[in-house]
Structure 1
Amino acid sequence: MKKTVLAMTMAASVLTMAACSDQKAADEEIIATTKVGTITKEDLYEEMKDAVGLPVMENLLLQQVLETEYKVSDKEWKDEVKSQKEALGDNFEMYLQQQGVSEKFFEKNVKSQMIQKKMIESLKVSEEDVAKGVERAKTELHARHIVVKDEDTAKEVLAKVKEGGDFADLAKEYSTEPVAEQTGGDLGWFGPGKMVQEFEDAAYSLKKGEISEPVKTSFGYHIIELLDTRKAETEKTEEEINTEIEDGLKRVQFEEKLQELIKAADVDIKVDEFKKALDSYLPATADKEDKEKK
């Protein structure tokens, strides 16, 4: 449930190879020779796949997914590249060396930054939601939950809770959230902007010791128990709190939108080592686990 704001640099892939009509010949193409042997494109691919393959695959997929909705024209891209290079001035070459990247890599990364920025700028939150968040910010909640994939299962679990079943044990048995095995569904203390909106609204409507009806979110169906509340202590100004609440609401929207785009893209990763490249961006579900087992 909790997830920090996505820190996606979405760098251009260092694994991308040019297409070739004879793939085997391309893979066996020698790119370096030494007195003790040669190195082919396939050698390089395998080495890089093992070393940096997973994060690069993640970045490539995210780049493609976001580009389906957030477009950056060649002119916009070239203008921004020029602007950033001019800002670095005589320090540009030194910057590349410090970052350990090529100029081409730098330019592709600028486009990735622009795509992400367009997505962030598209997110809007209402003044009403911010005001509600500011009011909620005065109180922190301690809650636990059980999340399942369908409403029928949620009702079954809720019935067992109401019959006196141990909440933590039921979370370990039923919850599709992997960490529930260790936490028993305990989410610790949290404030507004830390959970998806439907979950937050339900949790803040509960009284201490109360258990919710099934709450539907993009993660599934939740049974929430409010364990305790406390006054939030802060030295922040009202303006800082407003900004924090707005950022938190946008973060939740960002994650939900990204999940939506990933699901719509119907990603099918063919290489076993990369199967979990997007796991951290998607809720764990039984359907997903079943698919991975096949």
Structure 2
Amino acid sequence: MKKTVLTFTLAASVFALGACSNDSATNDEVIATSKVGDITQNDLYEEMKASMGDQAFQLLMIKKVLSTKYEVTEDEVNAQLEADKKQFGDNFKTFIAQQGYTESSYKKTLELKLMQEKALVEDMEVTEDEIKAEFENIKNEIQARHIVVEDEETAKKVKAELESGKAFAEVAKKYSIEQAAQTTGGDLGWFNKATKMDQQFLKGAFALKKNVISDPIQSSFGYHIIEVTDKREIEESYEDKKAEIEKQLKLVKADTSTLLTKVAKMMKDADIKIKDKDIKTAFDKFLAATETDTTAEDADTSTEESN
């Protein structure tokens, strides 16, 4: 069944276009002067519209439509912002700058992202047992490093060199087939059992005692020699993490095609009339795609019922 994914990533310029369009598109207010000529607000609007008008208008309109039903508070945006800052650490400012954001424009993207998530999980259900099981997966974390090679014989050679006293990072750079090892020395940082890693690798790593070099552990990537350098338990209690875990589990279960159908219906109900002829067809492809998905889903359902 064909799936259409709606992207909610917003460049700062999308909101700049929205700001420009708040006034008449014929606004001749001068926003910059120079010896070679002036730039008016309309000049900026027309240039941005030409380069990204459809995309910008789509995202601005979708945000407006979603906001009528899914409220996102300033506190929720700030909480997500702090979580992202914690995740990226000292690299946060570099990360948002590379995406073309200031912190202010990045918060606008978070507001829309949170609206999307609320619409996406609205009808999803998870059980208490599922939440508790996931908490068990995340409550313990380990810090580890590894060296991955293609065969068991090489893995045994790697272990012998480590046990003879050679530096882990140097052995990793020499033998590991993981390209990142050349800069990380095989260090994986902190992770838990819910981290997206090979399950055999996770099982082997969490079975290790601290500062013990493992025997070769096979995964889908090869043979690993692992050393767990530290262990810890998260500070938050089950009650502290329950709401966050519930949300994440619902997002995993959610189907983006449901969101597309929901947004398309809300947009049709909003009776949008586009007055600017240059972006008159901005939503045509989006609405056509969602109608295709809905038709495909109906056909799949009919086939299943007939079987």
Q: TM-score normalised to the size of structure 2?
A: 0.47
Q: Which protein shows a greater Rg?
A: 2
Q: TM-score normalised to the size of structure 1?
A: 0.49
